[in-house]
Structures are given as C-alpha cells and as structure tokens.
Amino acid sequence: MPSYLTALSDTIKNSFGDWIAFETVIEPSIKLDHRRAQFVGLIYAEAAMNTVKYAFPNGAAGKMKLRFRRLSGTFEMTVSDNGVGFDPAMTLPGRGTKLMKEIAQQLRGTLRLERLPIGMAVRLTFADSV
C-alpha cells in the first residue's frame, strides 16, 4: 500500500503543480488484496481531487495529508487539508461523496466527512480482515 498510495499522490501532485504540499504517512507493513487496494485508491483519489478542486480557491497554497494505518482490528485512512472547509451537515453530498460512501460500503466500512478547526478530513475505516 505505501508504494501504491505514494504513486497516486505523486500523480495528482504532478498533474496540478506544487501549490498544494502533499504529506503521505503510511504504515509500511500494510498490505491489502488487489480488490481492497483498488477501492482504497479510488476513495483516496476522489478525496484528493476534491481537495484540489475545492479546498484552496483562487489558487491559494495549502497542505493535504494522507494517513493510512492499522488500529486494533481496523484500517483507517484519513485525507485531510488546511483549506476553507465546509459544514458537511449543511451541504448536500455530490456525486463524488456518494461514490466514496458506496465504495466504503463495498469494503464493509464507513466513510465520514469531518470539519476540522482549519480544513476538512475524509475518514475511511474498515475491518482489517475480509
């Protein structure tokens, strides 16, 4: 997972320039089967693209962080930023958010959008066994 998610980060960063600083923190021992790795990658790519498109209006610089770790029986992936944010309770979910939630269900997991003091986080949790 570390090389796969790092490669996705590099692709997104190279596509959009260096106005967003990417930080990637992935436990090196995490390995997933091909199907689950694809689902995680799709959710990460969608969350990262949403950050690029919406978190930093008018080309403002910012930071996005990917964190993927194992927590007592579950995996947790968090994609967070220090952008403008929004209130998920007051905003209708778009197609990308619906897609991420549907993919999370395929993983038998949950996906939450969280407003941070500065920015937003997308948090995916799912069991570490199938």
The pTM of the full predicted model, rounded to 2 decimals, is 0.92
**In-domain check, residue 123:** yes
CATH of the domain at 38: 3.30.565.10
For 51, the domain range is: 2-76+89-127
> What size, in residues, is the chain?
130
Q: How confident is the model at residue 122, as a pLDDT?
A: 97
**In-domain check, residue 99:** yes
> Are β-strands 74-81 and 62-71 bridged in parallel, bridged antiparallel, or unpaired?
antiparallel
Rounded Cα gap, residues 67 and 79, in angstroms: 7
> Are β-strands 20-26 and 62-71 bridged in parallel, bridged antiparallel, or unpaired?
parallel
**In-domain check, residue 83:** no
**In-domain check, residue 65:** yes
Q: How many domains are there within the chain?
A: 1
Rounded Cα gap, residues 96 and 83, in angstroms: 18
Task: Encode pLDDT of 37-74 as tens digits.
Answer: 999 999 999 999 889 888 988 878 899 999 999 998 99
**In-domain check, residue 81:** no
**In-domain check, residue 96:** yes
Rounded Cα gap, residues 74 and 53, in angstroms: 30
